[in-house]
Amino acid sequence: MIGVYDSGFGGLTVLRHLVDALPARDFLYLGDSGRAPYGGRDVDTLLDFAEQCVEHLFDAGCRLVVVACHTVSCVALRHLQQRYCAPGSGRRVLGVTIPAAEAAVRVTRGRIGVLATHRTTASRTLVAELAKLGHYDVVQRAAPLLAPLVEEGWEDTDIARAACARYLDDLRGCESIILGCTHYPLLRAALEAATDARLLDPGPEVAARLVDWLARHPGFDDAGSGRVVAHCTGDVGAFRAHGSRFFGAPLPDLRHVVEAQSALAALVVERAPEGQVVRPSSPPPKG
């Protein structure tokens, strides 16, 4: 069974491509909707949430987890891989950042724009990955209003069109724009009305890369029976209603999970770090 993790509904836009590409596999989706949005969270909170969510998926029987959330993939992916994917662990955590960067470089000669959450753009991880691929002409724009508009179901409104136009005004001159948040594919019509740039949804590329990865690692995941299960930390009714918009079909099996036995502590933050963050921690759980 393959786990797919996102901060809420948005990762269902990635899951739909994964299911289309691997219809015989079993998927367990975890949407942390009770604690969304992630885009304005501090780094340590993101690391806490990410650890809890991938541990939940591993405990449920997933050996492979796809982090569909761009914010977590840009900030915490390396931490998750180092904590849970030591040689011999039989576990893997994959993200969406590198597939997004590779897809953009493959089709773009000129400037690449990145439209994403505040935390994703502040990390500059996509900028770094594009530079590794030899592409340095990159401009970013944080768009904190767009995901909440989609959560409200307002993607086909004048408000959404005005917000998209305002944000994209800062990305003029881009040949391609990476949609660096899983909510943004639902805004494609509003975004296309505001720009002539090529809009890149990383979802299909993530699915293609996963198909290739599984082909290169035969036996890592069972063939399955085509079952799709979804877990959410927020309101189940809202997740079911909105989730079908993102997934493109009714969610067949939806369950509620909650946080338990957590602790809070005061934290002094001197500056906001850039790039991937690996936090010193206790040894990873056994098993």
- pLDDT digits 0-9 by tens, 214-242: 999 987 888 789 999 999 998 888 999 88
Count the alpha carbons within 13 Å of 267 in the hemisphere toward its beta carbon.
Answer: 10
Same fold, 2-96+204-256 and 98-201: yes
Percent of all residues in the chain with a pLDDT value above 90, rounded to a whole number: 78
pLDDT grade for 286, boundaries at 50, 70 and 90: low
For residue 113, give the 3-state DSSP assignment: strand
| CB of 17 closer than 8 Å to CB of 66 | no
Percent of all residues in the chain with a pLDDT value above 70, rounded to a whole number: 93
Q: Which CATH class is domain 2-96+204-256?
A: alpha beta
Domain boundaries, the chain: 2-96+204-256, 98-201
| CB of 32 closer than 8 Å to CB of 267 | no
pLDDT tops 80 at residue 40: yes
- Residue 37, preceding peptide bond in cis (omega within 30° of 0): yes
| CB of 197 closer than 8 Å to CB of 174 | yes
> Phi and psi of 6, rounded to 5°?
-145, 165
pLDDT, residue 223, reads 79
Rounded distance between C-alpha atoms, residue 94 and residue 260, angstroms: 26
Structurally, at CATH architecture level, domain 98-201 sits in 3-Layer(aba) Sandwich (3.40)
pLDDT tops 70 at residue 283: no
Higher-confidence position of 209 and 283: 209
- pLDDT digits 0-9 by tens, 46-89: 999 999 999 999 999 999 999 999 999 999 999 999 999 999 89
| CB of 13 closer than 8 Å to CB of 19 | no
Q: Which residues are catalytic?
A: 69, 181
